[in-house]
Copies of this chain bind each other. A is one copy, B any other.
Amino acid sequence: MAMGLVAGFLTTVSFIPQLIKGFRTGKMDDVSISMPVLLSLGMGLWMLYGIGVDSIPVIIWNAVGLSLNVIMIGLKVHYGRRSHPSK
């Protein structure tokens, strides 16, 4: 349980520096949008899996990670639209 909480903390907060970098630079060009999209879908399923196996760490951290990745998708779309049309 404790290890799951620490593990979840690390994998979840991992997206925060990416979001900060995106906000600061206003650039997400080198970030593939497929990454946060697939992560959001997967983390939504992990949440359901966590409910099934009754694992609080799996539920909590995937809920937070899902939220952060939705923000990352928003940043990517926003900055992609504002700057040059990339091919």
A46 to B29, CA, bound (A): 30
Total A residues in contact with B, Cβ cutoff 8 Å: 43
Contact with B along A1-18 (1 / 0, CB 8 A): 001101111111111011
Question: Is the beta-carbon distance between B34 and A31 smaller than 8 angstroms?
Answer: no
Whether A32 contacts B17 in the complex (CB less than 8 A), given A3-B48, A3-B49, A3-B52, comes out as: yes
Consensus secondary structure, chain A interface: helix
Contact of A38 among B4, B10, B52 (CB under 8 A): B10
Question: Is the beta-carbon distance between A6 and B45 smaller than 8 angstroms?
Answer: yes
Within 8 A of B (CB), among A24-63: 25, 27-32, 34-39, 41-46, 48-49, 52-53, 55, 57-58
